[in-house]
Chain A
Amino acid sequence: MDQPAPTPPPVPAAASASSSAVPSFQRDLWRWCEEQMGRREFLLKGGWAFFWLFLGGWLLSNLRFLFPNVLYEPTLAFKAGKPEDYPMGISEKWKKTQRAWVVRTDQGFYCFWARCTHLGCTPNWFEAEGRFKCPCHGSNFNKSGDVIAGPAPKPLWRCAVQLADDGQLLIDKARLENRPGPREQGEFFLPYQNA
């Protein structure tokens, strides 16, 4: 019953005569393949390989299933009132509703996203010390958002600020910048002459 490897059918004389048409290295390769793995073994291993590949691939592909394509999330832009209504310094007006601080300086306006760059808690502003302090792991930031103590790796993010047509500040928390230099220009800083 258990035959080791099926012997190939005898090659007809005519075929063997014409076999000179097949280059010899191809015949060698074929023979080598058959020696490595017979037809049955090939089919068996191939079948199992396909089974496991399919099962594993399907299971893994479900990882992609966990990443939604459509998000139902609130917009990150909001209107923050007239620029002239802000006093000098850091305004906490929008912290509890929009998680942002609007800052008015001698030159103009900028806006912090009130989210610690360490692990995402909301820091608190301590006017007397001129520091933002985070309640979760103790990061401290100064008035320009730079880290002065604690584990936070980078400065606070600043949001894009522009003037809407109705004269209100329009703040977009989706466009962020925190590198010294770029964060003081362009859309991240609104000088008085534009306000």
Chain B
Amino acid sequence: MADQPNASLMQTVKKTKLWKSIFRHDFTDTPRTRLQRIFGNVFLHLHPVRTAKDAIRVTYTWGLGGLSFLLFLILVVTGILLMFYYRPASSLAYQDIKDLTFVVTLGGLLRNMHRWGAHLMVVVVILHMVRVFLTGAYKPPREYNWVIGVLLLVMTLFLSYTGYLLPWDQLALWAVTVGAQMAANSPLLGNEGPFRLPFITTSNDARFGLIGGTVIGDATLIRFYVLHCMAVPFLFTIFLCVHLWRVRKDSFSKQTGEKVDVWPHLVSREFLASLLVMVILFVWSMVMQAPLEAEANLNVTPNPSKAPWYFLGLQELLVYFDPWIAGVVLPTLIVVGLMAIPYIDINPKGVGSWAKMGKKKLGPFSLPYPEERPFAVSVFMLGTIMWFVLIFIGVYCRGPNWEWYWPGEVWSYRRLTKLTLVNIPNLWGGLLLASYFLLGSPIPQQVKMVLAQKGGPKAPGLASAALHVGLGMAISVALFVSLLISKNPGYPALSRYPTLFEALGRSTNAPVMSALYGLVQSVGPGVGYTAIGLMIVLVGLGLGGLGVAFGTFKDRMYETLGPVKYAIVIGLLLMMMGVLGKIALRLLFGVKYLISLPMFNLNI
């Protein structure tokens, strides 16, 4: 040492055991250190050391999975800090949030970051799912990880839901009231659900277990606090570990072309993306206050009472369906359906690149069309878009009393309304539902062969046409004729119109029925009913024609998938389209239920 008086201090320090035990290797940019940085560091070692250049292209993944993880970390950190000031008791919680927002130094920023970070995380997680779907990255061997991913999505939403009760403001209270009441409507285990088990009451049903009592109060708040801060993050972390570990084990879906070092090529991209998102989140949180409504009041509901945007799709669904369907069955089917995707989609094409779009001529139009996976991509995107259309309706088209207002239309709390909803008589409704679901039945090859043997080569085609047109006509007749000829069961107690046709024709929420009623009134019953009859036939033929057009496709799908997978696929598809159909029935025809059995609390 003495012969090198000026040997840099740094070099001396670097030779100490302390330094070596922390940093372990030097940082000159050599192939060796690039390797060491990845596998010598616990935080980076989930990365492979080298990866395909194409797999880390920004426009391939948009870094969405990593950003979801980043946002989760931000939420954990800001959440832990918020916990220092927040007390989960109904008499304290709201004041604590006020203190955090207005009195505690940097408290407002932390709260804003926590709230907006949660919103951003929901967006990013959904986009991540769409990205994984469209690049086919869930296909073997990554099916299992897709399922874990769906669970993480569900937990993300559940964390948001449990989180927004905590401020104990009006939004919180009424969201939880509605959510808890959905639990009370679950089949078998809910006090108000269909086929309630005989021993179930308000003080032992699913709602009671969720909110810890029969009314929402302190017990509910502490439950949601524990779920939000402990239980769900714990589960989330476990599933997150599995998710990330499986990404590594299954490797990226794109494994072609040149390989590059993960340090610096991937790590730098991750760093830049994180930086960008953090800047966005900081600016957003400094500019926008997180909403805080009036303190929770168990007696008064804000008008209109809207959930945060990501639950408005669900809230809107609840308008069209009974709570047990919209609140329990449909969400379960959506989640199970999403999880089932990699197991029912056996098409091996389209892995590792965005869905290739071709052009398809349709008359004068030329439509973009996903070439390799036309069915999968169309159905998935239709479902996603439908969900966001529902959110759009909830955000922009619903005003006071949850009535329909066009975007930009001025809200009026005293607007006179003539809303009327009627039930289609059970038998007609049953016919409609049965015919609709029978539209999904294929004509298997064996049946076709038997038909061809017995009735000549044209017989299978004719049978398919007869089946589909018959079902189409049945749907059309069951819908229109039932509404045209039925007496109004609510007359005279609930409605002053003796027939369903008149009741709907004079209401403001059944445009199709009002138009038909207006037609009959203006041109007289003879011409009017003839025109309506023609329309019924045309609608039936149209629906049947649609069935025939998809007939060959269905039969081919049946042959490739086999009966079990086919039944799952067509069942989920028909239910998804059925949701669309029921919404149309409600908005255009003023129909409430197709089947109503009040004694079982069963309404469809």
Contact = CB atoms under 8 A, between A and B. Distances in A.
Interface of A: 63, 66-68, 71-74, 95-99, 114, 118-124, 126, 128-129, 131, 133-138, 140, 142, 144, 146, 148-151, 153-154
A118 to B, nearest CB: 7
Nearest to B420: A149
Contacts of B320: 151
B601 A124 contact: no
A71 B204 CA distance: 12
Interface of A is mostly: loop
B493 A153 contact: no
A97 B300 CA distance: 9
Nearest to A100: B299
| Interface of B (DSSP majority class) | loop
Interface of B: 174, 177-178, 180-182, 185, 203-204, 208-209, 212-215, 217-219, 297-305, 315, 318-323, 327, 398, 400-403, 414, 416-417, 419-421, 490, 493-495, 509, 592, 598, 601, 603
A119 B417 contact: no
A133 B303 CA distance: 10
Contacts of B214: 71, 73
A137 B175 CA distance: 12
A140 B419 contact: yes
14 contacts: A66-B212, A71-B203, A72-B218, A74-B215, A96-B297, A96-B299, A99-B299, A129-B417, A138-B419, A149-B417, A150-B402, A151-B319, A151-B321, A153-B603
Contacts of A98: 299
Nearest to B495: A148
B494 A137 contact: no
B44 to A, nearest CB: 36
Contact of B318 (A71, A133, A151): A151
A135 B178 contact: no
6 nearest CB pairs, A to B: A138-B402, A149-B419, A135-B303, A133-B401, A119-B181, A120-B181
Contacts of B215: 73-74
A137 B414 contact: no
Contact of B402 (A63, A134, A146): A134
Contact of B401 (A135, A151, A153): A135
A133 B420 CA distance: 13
Contact of A119 (B182, B401, B509): B182
B305 A73 contact: no
A150 B419 CA distance: 8
A121 B171 CA distance: 12
Given A95-B299, A120-B180, A138-B401, A154 B598 contact: yes
B260 to A, nearest CB: 47
A153 B416 CA distance: 23
B319 A68 contact: no
A140 B400 CA distance: 12
